[in-house]
Amino acid sequence: MAETEIYERMETDASFDALKILANELPEPLILMGGWAVNLTVNKSYSEEHNAPYLGSRDVDLGFHIDVDASIEELKDSNFSKTLGILKAIGYWESGTSRFCRIRDKRTGKTLSEKEAGEIPFFDLFYLYIDPIVDRIHPKNDEVFKIKPIDEPLLSDAIDHGRMIEIQISGKILLVPQPDVLLAMKLSSFSNRTKDDKKIKDACDIYALIWHSGIPAKDIISSVKQDYPDLITKVMDQFSEDLINKASYHLGIEPDQFNGVISQLFK
């Protein structure tokens, strides 16, 4: 079987190009999370086995450490604050309460203004989202920023306990949560997914982190069971036959192989 992308290649290519630009534009240390963190963690092993790159992501998730004891002036001078300013300066705008967005015309690759996008059919548009994620919410966040970032306690755990690794992209060093923490993050998001494509992508990422992270499957599973047992309990009944078939299809493997790997979480 050959792997089949969940998202259009144009979308994932545009997202990865944006990530490379952000790696050069944003202040260090830049923390990468989400689908691209998984991709960069598993791609070498997955590519060697499948002779194809691992699944890409449409969104770019960036992580930030927030010192909750920082003054307002210190918060305004933080990497999080600087990043929000840079995103606006290079053409992203606030979308909703917690994201930044840029719109591209799928037919031409041109970046569009919101007004221009309103004149083009929705199916010809690609919305590239940048999600700033913090380890903690500063008590004065709403006084300083319009955006209300998502907070991720697992990121706090990774930063506080040095559970980060370095990955290079476009000559820049990025920090990524180590594979067992990434796996825990994926288990956490998986249990809350409502959109079918997101659920399938998380299922693929969970499999890939167990099987292709460079850490023996039994070791990464043992670590997650020890540190995050509640997350495993939450997902125990969510791997339906239909989901397994869809995730296996996109990974380019047989459902029995997928199930054999995932089932190790629940032994």
pLDDT in tens, 239-248: 999 999 999 9
Helix and strand counts by DSSP (H, E) for the chain: 13, 9
Q: pLDDT category, 109, cuts 50, 70, 90?
A: confident
Whole-angstrom Cα distance, residue 179 to residue 206? 10
Q: What is the pLDDT, as a whole number, of residue 267?
A: 87
pTM to 2 decimals? 0.94
Q: What is the pLDDT, as a whole number, of residue 250?
A: 96
Q: What is the pLDDT, as a whole number, of residue 191?
A: 85
Q: pLDDT category, 213, cuts 50, 70, 90?
A: very high
Q: Which residues contact 199 (CB under 8 A, 6 or more apart)?
A: 190, 193, 243
Residue 1 pLDDT > 70 = no
Q: For the chain, what is the mean pLDDT?
A: 94
SS (H, E, C) 127-164: EEEEEEEECCCCCCHHHHCCCCCEECHHHHHHHHCCCE
Neighbour count for residue 220 (Cβ, 10 Å): 23
Q: Which position has the higher pLDDT, 4 or 262?
A: 262
pLDDT in tens, 22-55: 999 999 889 999 999 999 999 999 999 999 999 9
Residue 4 pLDDT > 80 = no
